[in-house]
A and B are shown apart, each in its own frame.
Chain A
Amino acid sequence: MGSAAVARSGVQPGPAMRVSAHARRGGLKAGEKRIGWLFLLPALLAFALVIALPFLRALGFAFTRSDLQTPEPVFIGLGNFREILGSPEVLGSFATTAIYVVLATGFTVVIGLAWAILLNQTFRGRTALRALSLLPWVLPSTVCAFIWGWIFNSRYGVLNAALLELGLIPFPTAWLSTSVGAMTAIVVTKVWLSIPLYMSFFLAGLQGLDREQVDAARVDGAGNGAILRDHVLPHLKPVLLVVVVLGVIGNLQQFDTIYALTGGGPVRATTVLSIEVYRRAFDQWDVGMASAIGLLWVATILPAAYVYLRHLLKGV
């Protein structure tokens, strides 16, 4: 893109071009400090207002009792955290979240990777198929929930119809009213809507694969399995890391489709942390507990985030 940009803007090579080879390493010199910050300022202000400030406030709330009976927050130290440790319900939502994240991330990685490898082959209609594959990802979350709610519908759902016709179940299953069924539904929905993104990452990674190396291995008699095992997968390892980490971060946070599909139920079967915190904060108005649970939630995201940020900032 470099030369095209220069050509389009009509910049003529001049004296400034000559020094740039040295200047480049250290960036641009004149007055950079002030101007750099100036460019940054609007984003920083927005960041402070909608991200940093809310986070710090939640941090403060976590150590207070602040609910409908106590409108003015009262400092109670680690009280909320003690309550969490003694509450099977809250601990249960950590477990539910873990199950959800592992299943959703695992299945999406496997299917997304397979789909990317398939679409990396050249065949007629591949470009169209790639573009169409992105559809689930751009649909509003409520729409995703509707689609799968309708498929999993106990009376008129096409899934029950198909399973009945194939003789796999003797009578219709009430998917969303059983714990396992509801978990299946929210995982399937999330896998479905995340495949496009994961696939895009894998496809981008596959572009850097050394074709000549693969061809050479082929000449040496390597089969498809060996090519995948010895060349494709090792090549995709760094991308895989990013995808898994991003997937875990995203799934730990998932709220919309779960809330719309099951509302966290039946009973608490699909109450993941996002639902738990939302219910505590906006149904029971127990802001103290909600913030405390939320902080522990951040703690679960931190390891994944650390790996991801380190990767992103490599060479910055």
Chain B
Amino acid sequence: MLDLSSGTAKTVFCVLLGLIGAFLFFPIYWLAISAFKGNAELYRVIPTLYPHTPTFEHFATAFGRGNLLLHLKNSLIVSTSAAALNTALAMYAGYSFAKFRYAGRRPVMLLLLSAQVFPFGLLLISLYPIMTSLGLLDTRTGLLLSYIVFALPVSTYMLYSYFSQVPDELIEAARADGAGELRIFHTIILPVSIPPVVTVFLYGFMWSWNDLLYALTLIVSEDKRTVGPGLMLSYLNETNADWGGAMAASLVASAPVVIAFAFLQRWFIQGVTAGAVK
């Protein structure tokens, strides 16, 4: 698109690439190498640019002290269930919006999508007493139910956009064969919709895994705490900051989403940007 045959254009291009690239990637590099620096090397006014004496001591303390493994386990349980629930809900709703025509469809869709507008913090004020009265405060179930707030609207829209492209002939042929609607959806539509469904699953997973606000508020007991607030409460206090441990624990806590994302990022981008480019 750009013509980079001239020297100036090429220079400008490379400089911009370098600058923005440095801004994006240097922090991640810094996170990674700081985790491998011993304390003597870490706490220096003029830092070393790479670990001269790499060490795993911070990983040892990260796993040893605090409850990193327990927090990871809790996060895994909550995020997986939240993602599964969100995907199931969004799947049926998206299919309904895409393939059925009924009075009220458009307003309901508008309502569901408008949920994005309500600030998570505002909903939390009343989710707290609601979860309390349901006996779900400080339970993983309560937390995972609350995570529907984050992901459901966009997930529904993502699957709606996808199902809209599935040809009606597919459904009509099955109907002509006498198949029921649920069966058609489960045995014909879903098998050809694996990529978007997986994308939506990952989307829900990411929101739950990365959240701090809800996890910090709706979970009180240490044994049910998830990794976001777990990290914060273990490492971020003014008096006693263990930055090496924080960096090591951060690497461990980021690994699951980063790995999942590495495999699925192509589908993911298509899904998330659905609807923006018309």
Interface residues of chain A, those whose CB is within 8 Å of chain B, are 1-2, 5-6, 8-9, 11-17, 19-20, 23-24, 26-28, 30-33, 35-40, 42-44, 46-47, 49-51, 53-55, 57-58, 61, 111, 114-115, 117-118, 120-121, 129, 131-136, 138-143, 145-151, 153, 155-156, 158, 160-161, 164-165, 172, 192, 195, 197, 200-201, 203-209, 211, 214, 218, 223-224, 227-228, 232, 238-239, 242-243, 246, 249, 252-253, 255-256, 259-260, 273-274, 277-278, 281-282, 287, 290-291, 294-295, 297-298, 301-302, 305, 308-309, 311-316
Contacts and interface: CB of A to CB of B under 8 A. Distances in A.
Interface string B51-71: 000000000000000000000
Interface residues of B, number: 120
Contacts of A149: 236
A298 B122 contact: yes
Interface in B76-110: 85, 88-90, 92-93, 95-97, 99-103, 105-106, 108-110
A308 B100 CA distance: 24
Interface string B140-179: 0000011011001000110000000111111111111000
Given A35-B181, A118-B17, A161-B47, A5 B192 contact: yes
Q: State the main secondary structure of chain B at its contact with A.
A: helix
Contacts of B149: 50-51
A55 B210 contact: no
Given A24-B168, A277-B119, A316-B97, 8 more contacts: A2-B166, A11-B174, A121-B1, A121-B13, A141-B212, A142-B227, A164-B46, A316-B109
A206 B31 CA distance: 32
Interface in B238-278: 243, 246-247, 250, 253-254, 257-258, 261-262, 265, 269-270, 272-273, 275-278
Give the 5 A-B CB pairs with smallest separation, nearest first: A36-B100, A27-B101, A294-B122, A43-B93, A39-B96
Contacts of A58: 122-123, 125-126
A249 to B, nearest CB: 7
A12 B236 CA distance: 62
Interface of B: 1-4, 9, 13, 16-17, 20-21, 23-25, 27-28, 30-31, 34, 42-47, 85, 88-90, 92-93, 95-97, 99-103, 105-106, 108-130, 145-146, 148-149, 152, 156-157, 165-176, 181, 185, 188, 191-192, 206, 209-213, 217, 227-229, 231-232, 235-236, 243, 246-247, 250, 253-254, 257-258, 261-262, 265, 269-270, 272-273, 275-278
Nearest to B244: A150
Contact of A55 (B42, B126, B235, B276): B126
A199 to B, nearest CB: 9
24 contacts: A9-B170, A24-B168, A28-B100, A32-B100, A39-B96, A43-B112, A46-B148, A50-B145, A51-B148, A54-B125, A57-B126, A117-B2, A131-B265, A139-B250, A140-B227, A142-B250, A146-B250, A200-B269, A211-B1, A253-B119, A256-B228, A277-B119, A297-B119, A315-B278
A260 B23 CA distance: 21
A258 B199 CA distance: 28
- For A8, A27, A43, A224, the residue with the greatest tally of chain B CB atoms inside 10 Å of its CB is A43
A1 B89 contact: no
Contacts of B46: 161, 164-165
Given A40-B92, A43-B90, A132-B25, A9 B1 contact: no
A311 B276 CA distance: 8
Contacts of B265: 131, 134
A201 to B, nearest CB: 5
Contact of A121 (B2, B206, B262): B2
A2 B13 contact: no
Contact of B257 (A129, A131, A140): A140
Given A36-B102, A278-B121, A143 B253 contact: yes
Given A156-B44, A201-B273, A224-B3, A151 B23 contact: no
Contacts of A205: 276-277
Contact of B276 (A117, A136, A195, A239): A239
Given A115-B20, A143-B254, A209-B1, A14 B99 contact: no
